[in-house]
Amino acid sequence: MPYVLGIDIGGTTTSAAVSRLSSAGWAAPEVVRLGVRSAAVPSVLHVSGDGALTVGDPDQLDAGRVARGFIRRVGDDVPLIVGGEPCTPQALVAVLAMWVVERVLAHEGEPAEQVVISHPASWGAYRRELLHQALWDIGLATVTLLPEPVAAAESHAARGWGGGTLGVFSLGGTEFEASVVRWADPVGFRLLGSASAVEPFGGADIDEALVGHVRSRLDKQMRHLYASAPHARAALFGLRRECQRVKEDLTAALETDVILTASHGQVRVPVNRADLEELIRPALRVSVDTLVRVVRTCGLRPSELDGVLLVGGAARMPLVAELVRAALPGPVSVEPEPQTTAAAGAALAAVQIVAPPAVRSHGPVWTSQATWTSQLPVVASPNPEPAPHVEQDDTGAGPPPRPPVKITPLKLPRMRSAQRLFGLVGGHP
């Protein structure tokens, strides 16, 4: 069955969604289960001792064989050293994108008609072209790049969200971006402006704040465990993972326990939502102020926004919506799984590329629970030299090309040979 694929490679997790063509039309985007226990996988590449690459290995403590956070490094001339091999950040992003494409291919049985990958709003032509070339080199030629807030707006519009001028508050695992998008016939949503936090801020920073809070409440014996060798690193890693779980639980619960394992049994540290919100409120206020500033920089008054969309896993926290509503009038929208919003929106954009709509009005119309009729204009059209992509205004375009640095990249596979490199069939997701 023909299908299109949308991919969102974030700083901490990667997600994907497909839309399939049936006799009734293109189906609503369906999130792909990339991991064993969840739809998303960590945006992590691990090189084993024999040179094999696997995706998503958060338990790996050998930092020299793990690559993470490379999406933020695209455009940086300094390579990352992974398993002793220098590799450009964009090559690592392309490897992860290829892994997703191959994994979906193994499930669907045929290649996607079109692939759309979201990217940070701050990217300009320089970074987009670097990633396009890396994707081309690895064998992904028919790929369109789309700014994350544009993809998010497409996803919300497809679910019936109205409004032509929208703020987008994106809070991921390691990054924050505030953007404004506007509907403009006949090109669809366009990025008007964006900005990141002055200091990097994301869900991982919230986890670290909670780690510090919990450690301050431990007794002397447990504090010694988290500060002394040889078990300190593993114990601290376990504490971080537990605090991440607790942070997610507190999006719905008012109180829960951090559960730690010690030599004398389990230790429970109670944490409530008020404790967590008190820790992170100042940083979130700065982030919301950044969104207000972007709105004004775009020549708009806050009252001119038709609403604000919340994107990213950390955006589920109730305090985020509370602070946004206090600063900006109008409705605030967050999808049930905001960490997959951009992937779903990318899949919607891919449908528009392969099946341009005849009617060019504002927003898609859902015809049933399973299918939709596109009434969005074309987001992009294929361009084979070297690959199709969406050109956006170069707001925050990034640095101009710099003198090249000679880097010996990892030998990247062609599309179908990626299975041999990653061990995709039966391998670690």
Q: Check: CB of residue 360 under 8 Å from CB of residue 395.
A: no
pLDDT tens string 218-242? 766 566 656 654 555 556 667 888 8
Q: Which two tokens stand for residue 259?
A: 């559960």
Domain layout of the chain by residue ranges: 3-159+339-422, 203-275
pLDDT at position 90 over 60: yes
Lowest mean pLDDT among 247-256, 286-295, 316-325: 247-256
Token pair in block for residue 355: 């099946």
pLDDT in tens, 243-265: 888 888 888 899 998 887 766 66
Strands 13-22 and 41-42: antiparallel
Residue 60 pLDDT level (bands cut at 50, 70, 90): low
Among the listed residues 415, 346, 406, 357, the one whose alpha carbon sits nearest the alpha carbon of residue 5 = 346
pLDDT score, position 347 = 96
Least confident of 21-35, 68-82, 193-207: 193-207
Instruction: Give the contacts of 196 (CB within 8 A, at least 6 positions apart).
Output: 122, 175, 176, 177, 178, 290
Q: Supply the pLDDT for residue 404.
A: 46
What is the pLDDT confidence band of residue 303, given thresholds at 50, 70 and 90? very high
State yes or no: pLDDT of 366 exceeds 70. no
Q: Mean of the pLDDT values across residues 144-158?
A: 94
- As beta bridge partners, residue 170 has 177, 311
Beta strands in 110-175 (DSSP E): 115-119, 143-147, 165-171
pLDDT at 343 over 70: yes
Q: Are 317 and 339 in contact (CB under 8 A)?
A: no
Chain segment 374-383, per-residue pLDDT in tens: 333 323 333 3
Q: What percent of the chain has pLDDT over 70?
A: 75
Selected residue with higher pLDDT from 353 and 53: 353
Residue 186 burial by Cβ neighbours in a 10 Å radius (0-12, 13-18, 19+): exposed
Cα(326)–Cα(115) distance, integer angstroms? 38
Mean pLDDT of 73-98: 91
The more confident residue out of 20 and 197 is 20
Distance CA 372, CA 28 (A): 6
The residues, ordered by sequence, that sit 6+ positions from 219 with a Cβ below 8 Å of its Cβ are none
CATH number for the segment(s) 203-275: 3.90.640.10
Q: What is the mean pLDDT of residues 85-91?
A: 91
**Total-model pTM:** 0.80
Q: Pick the residue with more confidence: 64 or 107?
A: 107
Kindly indicate the confidence band of residue 57, based on its pLDDT and cuts at 50, 70 and 90: low
Q: What pLDDT, in 10s, does the model give residues 155-182?
A: 998 888 878 899 999 998 888 999 999 9
DSSP line for 358-425: S---SS-EE-SSSBEE--SPP------SS--------TT--PPP----------PPPTTTHHHHHT-T
The rounded distance, in Å, linking the Cα atoms of 22 and 58 is 38
Q: CA 63, 69, 72: angle at the middle one, nearest 5?
A: 150
DSSP-assigned letters across all residues of 210-254: HHHHHHHTS-HHHHHHTTSTTTHHHHHHHHHHHHHHHHHHTTT-S
Chain centroid, CA 283 distance in Å:
20
Token pair in block for residue 213:
């809070």
In angstroms and rounded to an integer, the radius of gyration of the C-alpha atoms of the chain is 22
Specify the pLDDT at position 51: 72
CATH number of this structure's domain 3-159+339-422: 3.30.420.40
